[in-house]
Amino acid sequence: MENIGALAILLAFCFAVYAIIGSLVGKWAKRPFLALSAQRAVYSVWALLTSAVGILLYSLIKGDYRMAYVWATSNHTMELQYKVAAWWGGQEGSLLLWSWLLATYSAIIVFQNRRKFRDMMPYVVGVLMFTQTFFLILNGFVASPFKMIAAGRGIVDIGDGQGLNPLLQYWTMVIHPPMLYLGYVGFIAPFAFAIASLATKQPGDEWIKTTRRWTLVTWMFQTTGVLLGMGWAYAVLGWGGYWGWDPVENASLLPWITATAFLHSVMMQEKKGMMKVWNMVLVSSTFFLCIFGTFLTRSGVVQSVHAFSEGPIGKYFVGFLAIGITLTVYLILSRLEYLKSESQMESVLSRESSFMFNNLILLAGCFAVLWGTLFPVITEAIMGEKISVDKPFFNRVNIPIGMFLLLLTGVGPLIAWRRSSFESLKRAFMWPALSGLFVSAALFAAGIRSFYALMSFGLCAFVLITVAIEFFKGARAISGKSGKNLLVSMFELTHRNTRRYGGYLVHVGIVILFVGFTGAAFNQDTTVELPQGGSMTLGAYTLKVVGFEEGENENYSWGRPKIAVTKYGEELPMMMPEQRFYFASQTPTHEIALRRRLNEDLYINYAGPGTNNSNVILQVYVNPLVSWVWIGYWVVLFGTIICLIPSKTKLVFPRTEVVGMTSKHAGKPAQVGTNENES
């Protein structure tokens, strides 16, 4: 079995290499059949990798502990879903997941576009398979999931495996890695088309139109992945928070930031023909940050909770990034002529400039996070001394960035294209601004003194009102003409331009997320050691230890104090945080007790027995508004899905477009407008 798996990976590697050579040579030597065979090779790579994955999954579920990977990540007592999740529970398997997802995406891309873009496709295939080859090198020669710890004759049985890390045995961990990877890997589609468009000297924006959906869907997966990671950290790690600016959390955030910037700045290119070079830079940086994120997670370059064993794979990633970035930069520089902007910024007060500032701020945030994450590496290289920075650094820089973004979220969509006067701004923003100020003032009067919290809540109100006005105005216009009621009209309005109104809904979701984040300004926590019958108070809650239970099952032993909770004297259900000790991996874990409410969460972690064994050490947190983070996510998801639904009416943006090039390098004229899949 394992030999077939290893062989499948080896063959996939050969096919991937063939696909690169076949498609590029086919293109340059004008042999369409060679290029076509390269496309078929892409399907073969997928089929081979799928078999390899099937074999790995079968071994995990069957429990073939002769295989090192199965032995390390699975055991008899694990439930089925965790045996499947063990696929991405370790280094080799998660790299295979990357590879397999890439192969799947590649096959879909090739299948979808096999009749379109005949001139671009060979390059698209080239980019896809170049990346695929890199990952197959890792799968096949560096971190093979099919290594054996026991091979040869006479071996009939190996005891039980180590089992999946208990921290990972939690439902969000089952789907967090695939979601994040779906997002990471998926960004290769816009990137591949961008590169192909550069390589074939396309003057138009075909690549953006073709990949708009891809970009949105992968963005959605990335958002989901990041949020699931936050949910996991909050519910499992037991430190009372969901975001610790850990290097690997940062790594997952970086491509998300540039992808968000890209989603916004492509609108400038579609509608105004501006920022073309910038979009190329953004799409490429997002792709490389995705690879970089995988690199950070896998190589142990920086200390982190996620740091897997330090292996030799780091240098392969560095090599791939170096080659990829060099080629991309060279390609962009050599095609600058084709990326000239078609119009210019006219005024500081304009939609264009708000897009530009949105990008500037997002990129500044991205840079700050990257800088902070790599600070130990940078200082060691420059000063010979490793210096690391911590949460306060990230918060200090990123909170103002967040505030400014929030402001732009409100301003951007309402400000006019080209130029806007103070008069029209006053008209558009008087009510939202007043409501924002009112909210801040009311909260100040209510006794809130945190500057950022006041600002954040004020801005949230401001954005919400601008969005509400937009919906209301549009709906009223429709209802005036059709006589339908406002609610139906709003539905109609959204359906007519899903991209715009779905986008507004995403903004609303982001606002709700910010409400949740801002709650962190009011977090309270304490650590106490309590004897049986002892009690303590935090915020509105009084906790009393009233008992202790312990026991064990085949997987782990557990102990949990029983805690009676009262809020303002009113009794709440008993809470029982738990400490477990897993036998197979010899590790303790903590199951927190959590009372989620819309206004605040009560979060109790049992850290273990105290100095004398009958005492318990409790960590207690009161986290206001955290639930809004998760609610905000669902709204973002809903808005994104609305964006993906085709609009009822096709919108045509009046704009001058470059249809051909007069330069001596120009290839054949572009086929602008031949592709009708824009929504």
Using CB under 8 A as the binding rule, the residues of this chain from 237 to 276 that contact another protein are 238-240
Distance CA 250, CA 289 (A): 11
Distance CA 66, CA 57 (A): 14
Q: What tokens does 146 get?
A: 């099919």
Min dist CB 561 to another protein, Å, is 14
Examine residue 375 and tell whether it contacts another protein (CB under 8 A): yes
Min dist CB 453 to another protein, Å, is 18
Q: Which is nearer to another protein, 309 or 677 (CB)?
A: 309
Min dist CB 216 to another protein, Å, is 28
Q: Is 366 helix (H, G, I), strand (E, B) or coil?
A: helix
Examine residue 678 and tell whether it contacts another protein (CB under 8 A): no
Q: Which is nearer to another protein, 34 or 602 (CB)?
A: 602
158, 416, 442, 666: residue in contact with another protein (rule CB under 8 A): 158
Q: What tokens does 229 get?
A: 């990671």
Instruction: Give ∠ CA 518-519-524 in degrees, rounded to 5.
Output: 135
Encode 471-523 in three state secondary structure: HHHHHHHHHHHHCCCHHHHHHHHHHHCHHHHHHHHHHHHHHHHHHHHHHHHHC
Instruction: Give the strand pairing for 541-552 and 556-567.
Output: antiparallel
54, 141, 155, 651: residue in contact with another protein (rule CB under 8 A): 155
Min dist CB 175 to another protein, Å, is 18
589, 623, 627, 640: residue in contact with another protein (rule CB under 8 A): 589
Size of site (CB under 8 A) for another protein: 73
Contacts of 327 (CB under 8 A, 6+ apart): none
Residues 220-239, interacting with another protein (CB under 8 A): 238-239
Residues 125-154, interacting with another protein (CB under 8 A): 149-150, 154
Q: Which is nearer to another protein, 150 or 325 (CB)?
A: 150
Distance CA 249, CA 227 (A): 10
Q: Which is nearer to another protein, 37 or 532 (CB)?
A: 532
Q: Which is nearer to another protein, 92 or 205 (CB)?
A: 92
309, 326, 450, 553: residue in contact with another protein (rule CB under 8 A): 309
Q: Which is nearer to another protein, 309 or 663 (CB)?
A: 309
Contacts of 658 (CB under 8 A, 6+ apart): 203, 204, 273, 340, 342, 670
Distance CA 258, CA 254 (A): 7
Per-residue contact flags (x/-) with another protein for residues 497 to 536, judged by CB under 8 A? ----------------------------x-xxx-------
Amino acid at 262: F
Instruction: Give the strand pairing for 616-624 and 570-575.
Output: unpaired
57, 327, 389, 637: residue in contact with another protein (rule CB under 8 A): 389
Residue range at the interface with another protein (CB under 8 A); choices 101-109, 505-513, 538-546, 609-617: 609-617
Residues 66-95, interacting with another protein (CB under 8 A): 66, 68, 71-72, 89-91
Residues 343-372, interacting with another protein (CB under 8 A): 345-348, 353, 357, 360-361, 364, 368, 371
Examine residue 401 and tell whether it contacts another protein (CB under 8 A): yes
**How far is CA 85 from each of CA 172, 222, 234, rounded to the nearest angstrom?**
11, 19, 20
Amino acid at 24: L
Residues forming beta bridges with residue 545, ordered by sequence position: 563
Min dist CB 140 to another protein, Å, is 19
Distance CA 454, CA 456 (A): 6
φ, ψ (nearest 5 deg) of residue 620: -120, 135
Residue range at the interface with another protein (CB under 8 A); choices 38-46, 164-172, 226-234, 441-449: 164-172
327, 443, 607, 631: residue in contact with another protein (rule CB under 8 A): 607
Instruction: Give ∠ CA 453-355-650 in degrees, rounded to 5.
Output: 115
Q: Which is nearer to another protein, 238 or 509 (CB)?
A: 238
How many other C-beta atoms can be found within 10 angstroms of the C-beta atom of residue 172? 19
